[in-house]
A and B are shown apart, each in its own frame.
Chain A
């Protein structure tokens, strides 16, 4: 097909001369991981709170949580990203908006991307948490309350420990999604893995090598996340319950 394969390209110095092309890839890889992990931690914390609120008897709280989920789950990720990056700084109080605009551009891109991914994913995590809680036998809540636990204690000691165990598999797929979704952040100029792949193509005219390398890097992340989550799943398994020993 007349394509000149050249895997050696990765070891060559870049056109700007400050690094090798492999170094660029590695920069993007680190960026993807830092962005996704920080957004994931925020998404887990927020999602847990919102998911719990969706199941509480108080109509105001659960209504608020439902609105949150519907907003962040139903606006396309790309649109949300543009809103956070281009629109939000203008809506902030002027001093704060200006402070944001004066920070390092990479920092601006990173923060906007992190907030966007975190909130988008938190809405999805919240839905998993809610479905986990709702799939518990209804008597469990009554049993907790009947022992004299308050409602928050019943969540803390009775319902959440089981609900969280039930949702480890769907959470794994959300965790994988956040890495894949992070590629969208290349659209605002953040040099994460996918963006570095494109940049390599522009500089080296070696698209196959570049995107094969990008693919392998994403696969690697995938494998690590999957095995990590499988380890978690096995270690929280309850004896005599759902396939436990």
Chain B
């Protein structure tokens, strides 16, 4: 579903991504982890073209992301994305947040869009908040809305960019629960996260990045039990300690 082949990106002489190659198959859940500044977020933002890259290629569902002829808006409407800071549209009610792209991008009617929106809000347990505004919800609730908003577009895969990093610890689980459920339903997912419990539960594979390179790309069992690189071992030793 997603193929990356020797993707590289640099700002001036600073290498952000170096020859990143990997594949995500339909139904797989890939957890991307690594120290900060290792290029994880940049990597998944390249998948839907939010970050340009200088060389290599990324193919999403048969479409080349880096090709200037590609209709990026169309591609992006099929790839859901959830951000660290939720990024709901603050001037719209929750249900409008879910409906707007359905009507303006997919051409659904307002009724269809709202109906779909209400269904998804039900699913993330926030139907009662439909008429409120993002600023009136807690961080965890906002992130669940953001997931529902992405799902409203019927995406073929979902990208998560540190979806729980900006949350109070109490609210992390409500978001991870929604993500776990989604994974169990067979959604193809690429998640940048430090939640190793989540990775152990649902990941098909774990990608470990350091200094813009994919250092490990292995099944979760192999990664957690015997990471090959020293850098990954150090990383795991530090974050699994607590």
A residues with a Cβ closer than 8 A to B are: 137, 139-140, 142-150, 153, 157-158, 161-162, 165, 238-241, 244
Contact = CB atoms under 8 A, between A and B. Distances in A.
A244 B90 CA distance: 11
A149 B102 CA distance: 10
A147 B91 CA distance: 16
Nearest to A239: B133
Interface in B37-92: 45, 48, 50, 72-74, 76-81, 83-85, 87-91
B50 A145 contact: yes
B98 to A, nearest CB: 10
Contacts of B215: none
Nearest to A136: B90
B85 A161 contact: no
A135 B166 CA distance: 20
Interface of B: 45, 48, 50, 72-74, 76-81, 83-85, 87-91, 100-101, 104-106, 132-137, 149-150, 153
20 contacts: A137-B85, A139-B83, A139-B84, A139-B85, A142-B45, A142-B83, A142-B87, A143-B89, A145-B72, A145-B76, A146-B48, A146-B79, A146-B81, A147-B149, A157-B104, A162-B89, A238-B90, A240-B133, A241-B90, A244-B133
A148 B105 contact: yes
Contacts of A157: 89, 100, 104
Nearest to A161: B91
B87 A140 contact: yes
Given A142-B83, A162-B91, A240 B74 contact: no
A142 B42 CA distance: 13
A140 B88 CA distance: 8
A139 B87 contact: yes
A245 to B, nearest CB: 9
A148 B73 contact: yes
B134 A240 contact: yes
A239 B73 contact: no
Given A139-B87, A142-B87, A143-B83, A149 B101 contact: yes
A240 B135 contact: yes
Given A157-B89, A239-B136, 14 more contacts: A143-B83, A143-B89, A145-B50, A145-B72, A145-B76, A146-B79, A146-B81, A147-B101, A147-B105, A147-B150, A148-B153, A149-B104, A157-B104, A165-B91
Contacts of A147: 76-77, 100-101, 105, 149-150, 153
Nearest to B87: A143
Contacts of A238: 90-91, 133, 135
Given A140-B87, A142-B50, A157-B104, A150 B73 contact: yes
Contacts of A161: 89, 91
A146 B104 CA distance: 13
B65 to A, nearest CB: 13
Contacts of B77: 147-148
Given A137-B85, A139-B83, A143-B87, A148 B100 contact: no
Contacts of A150: 73
A238 B89 CA distance: 11
A101 to B, nearest CB: 49
A-B CB proximity, top 7 nearest: A240-B135, A148-B77, A143-B87, A240-B136, A241-B135, A147-B101, A146-B81
